[in-house]
């Protein structure tokens, strides 16, 4: 479907329809990345949370609010950083590209 939209529909339209087609293409790309990367990302995140001693994000957030992890900030930051990277890798991998020299 994405290829059809990119090749046929986008090339044959302009203006508002072309814009909406581009949005649909982007959504389909996100869905594809989610299907490809999602299971591994979920498992990796669960592993990171478990290494901190939590079953889910809600438990981690509550512990952060209570100050239970004030002496483990480096670990917490690493866990959250990787979670954000995983989400960006699905939503828009271009955000992860480093600018040139």
Q: Which long-range contacts link 85-91 to residues 24+ away (Cβ below 8 Å)?
A: 86/37, 86/41, 86/44, 86/45, 89/33, 89/37, 89/41, 90/30, 90/33, 90/34, 90/37, 90/38, 90/41, 91/30
Q: How confident is the model at residue 68 (pLDDT cuts 50, 70, 90)?
A: very high
Q: What is the pLDDT of residues 47-64, one digit of tens each?
A: 999 999 999 999 999 999
Residue 101 is predicted with a pLDDT of 56
Residue 83 is predicted with a pLDDT of 96
pLDDT at 13 over 90: no
């Amino acid at each position: 479907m994405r290829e059809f939209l990119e090749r046929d529909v986008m090339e044959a339209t302009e203006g508002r329809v072309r814009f909406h087609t581009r949005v649909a293409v982007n959504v389909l790309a996100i869905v594809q990345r989610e299907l490809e990367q999602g299971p591994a990302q979920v498992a990796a995140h669960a592993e990171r949370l478990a290494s901190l001693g939590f079953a889910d994000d809600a438990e981690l957030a509550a512990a952060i609010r209570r100050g239970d992890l004030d002496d483990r900030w480096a670990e917490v930051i690493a866990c959250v950083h990787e979670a954000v990277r995983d989400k960006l890798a699905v939503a828009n991998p271009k955000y992860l590209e480093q600018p040139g020299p």
